[in-house]
Amino acid sequence: MERKVALVTGAGRGIGKGIALAFARSGYDVCVNYNQSAEKAEEVAREILSFGVRAEAVQANIATMDGVESLFEQFSSRFGRLDVHVNNSGITRMKPFLETTPELFDEVFNTDMKGLYFCSQQAARLMARNRTSGVIIQISSNHSEGTWSNSTVYAAAKAGVNKLTKNMALDLAPHGIRVVGIAPGYTNNSWVDGSERVTKIIENISSRIPLGRYCTPQEVGDAAVFLASDSAGYMTGTTIFMDGGALLPVWAERGYNG
């Protein structure tokens, strides 16, 4: 039986790496997309090979239309079929609203929204052409609903991703393609270097998260595999939040008991 294939953007590190490895553990061949982290992406691909599946690292900057087209040209020539596409690539930029520039706005939206949009379109076209009942997974953020300072651009982009997930799901349902999202909160990404300064930051933030810790890339990966599976076959147009309860009310801390 031919193995299924997953394409994960921004898979050279962090959440993308966790997702790529999770699909490999589940028996998928995996295309590891990266923009600049070639060495790390190749390391991820080698690790994936240890699971007895196929892996290739493919460079493409999905913030540009040329990059999106290049990614899918390379992918199609190397893999052919596509069962799961994960839009993980994203840029986080924080700036006070009064200081935000058009350049910062474009930098975030070109990757987090425009790139995601047209990667989804290319993926859906390939799935529809091959008559594959595929799954497109959007990696959003709890910023899409939570309100933090200096986040007007990033939060707006992620809120747009959640709404796009709904509308895409409606348009693609006749093709048998499901569209779902994952909105992580604080996650142990590559910036978590074990230094005393970073450790104190993590401890401080974790103390305000109901579950008391950060999410891990592997947990996001496991959620993505579940959403792509037959067990989630009736789920489309929805985004699940993985933030340890960070968006839950804090009335209890203020003495409110209903």
Average pLDDT over residues 5-27: 97
What number of CA atoms fall less than 13 Å from residue 85's CA on the CB side? Answer: 28
- Looking at the domain assignment, is residue 254 inside a domain? no
pLDDT of residue 257: 45
- Looking at the domain assignment, is residue 73 inside a domain? yes
Write down the pTM of the prediction: 0.92
- Looking at the domain assignment, is residue 144 inside a domain? yes
pLDDT by residue (tens digit) across 244-258?
A: 999 986 544 544 444
- Type of residue numbered 220: V
- Type of residue numbered 147: T
- Looking at the domain assignment, is residue 250 inside a domain? no
pLDDT of residue 258: 44
- Looking at the domain assignment, is residue 258 inside a domain? no
Average pLDDT over residues 31-58: 96
pLDDT of residue 255: 47
Length of the chain measured in residues: 258
Q: Which residue has the higher pLDDT, 119 or 2?
A: 119
Structural domain containing residue 228:
5-245
Domain count, the chain: 1
pLDDT of residue 194: 64
> 167 is written with which tokens?
């509308």
Q: Angle at the Cα of 189 (from 188 to 193), degrees rounded to 5?
A: 85
Q: Which of 228, 187, 192, 225 is nearest to 20 (CA)?
A: 225
Q: Which residue has the tokens 């799954």?
A: 135
- Looking at the domain assignment, is residue 252 inside a domain? no
In DSSP terms, which residues pair with 187 in a beta bridge? 215
Active site residue 154: yes
Strand 84-87 relative to strand 55-59, pairing: unpaired
pLDDT of residue 76: 96
**Catalytic residue selected from 34, 154, 186, 214:** 154
Average pLDDT over residues 163-179: 98
Under 8 Å between Cβ of 7 and 24: no
Average pLDDT over residues 174-184: 98
Give me the phi and psi of 229, to 5 degrees please: -85, 170
pLDDT of residue 254: 47
- Looking at the domain assignment, is residue 130 inside a domain? yes
Give me the phi and psi of 31, to 5 degrees please: -95, 120
- Looking at the domain assignment, is residue 183 inside a domain? yes
Alpha helices in the chain (DSSP H): 14-25, 38-49, 65-78, 102-109, 116-129, 152-172, 196-206, 217-228
Return the CATH number at 175. Answer: 3.40.50.720
